[in-house]
Structure 1
Amino acid sequence: MATLQKSVDKRNSLIQATIELVNNDGFHATPMSKIAKMANVSPATIYLYFDNKQDLVNKTYIEVKSCFMGYAFESYIEKMSVEVGFEVIWKRIAEFKIKESAKTLFLAKCDNTPIIDEISRQEGIKHLKPLLDLWARGKKDGIIKPLSDYLLYAYSINPLSFLLMAQNRGSILLTKLELDQAYEVAWSGIKVYK
């Protein structure tokens, strides 16, 4: 059992080192040797868990995306109204982005650059299914604007990344008031006015 835990710990160390180094140095400036050194493992150990650097980054992306979405949907119940469900999910996403800024930055780098292969990107999108299903229900019921999921995400969820970067630079402090206001803007941007 101790050997299994040691193996899990090594893999987790490699994932953490990958997140930190990609965030600080970028994908291309992060050699496997540097990842191994930061994770405190031999370079050969990486290949026990990952085929190559691309595989390591792809699997790190999927794991972080899974963690992110698991957190976002933890208190969401499918039977909630569209508005309440969206608020629960949105606020959990905001909470994750603030608490897990390194993982958030890593996801942003992966989502906005071609470092992740398309298979891994599609795997990551699968983790959004509860939100996409909620939006589909909202569109069907005439509650949410009949826009593509990409537009809905871009205008309701993506602004959180901008706000987090502004907070990290010290330009803004995301208090409960600012987050409530940001949520209201996000919701008003996607809901249908009747």
Structure 2
Amino acid sequence: MLLHIKNMVCDRCILIVRQQLENLNFKVKDISLGKVDIDHEPTEEQVQTIASALQVLGFELIDKQKDQLVEQIKTKVIELVHYSDLNSVHQSLMTLIAEQLHKEYTYLSRLFSDTEGITIEKYIIQQKIEKVKELIQYGELNLNEIAFKMGYSSSAHLSTQFKSVTGQSPSQYKTAAGHQRKPLDRVN
């Protein structure tokens, strides 16, 4: 039985969801961001128990097909932006996501906008800026290296987009006290 779960954004989320389901005596056959395959179909009462147990941890069971697809889009964006080298991606992220989900770009774009209230492109930009914030805080790369890693055409392009999203330049962000990063599941 495949369960779709909202707000799974990292390896720790996978670990926590697995532990929670195993604590509820479900055998997890396979688990990845946003999806868990358990060994048998739960009863309606068990589904409610699973939903309640996950909700306490900030996760949510998704039952509607369209909501599942929106969550798959978010998961793909997070995987691409936060766990891959965007400089090596030689097509638009949206095209890549549409190919991976085997859906038309226009359909995904409309569905995402209707459900989330922002375009996929803006969501991608916001995720990229959160990753840039993280890289700035680590202090291991300069702005040119960050721009290259994140697939920007130049550090100037990155700086312009960073300022339009955060209201600060990357250098202002770096020197500001109390960096304001958002959890990945709260970026929108």
TM-score, normalised to structure 2, is 0.35
Hey, which of these two has a bigger chunk of helix by percent? 1
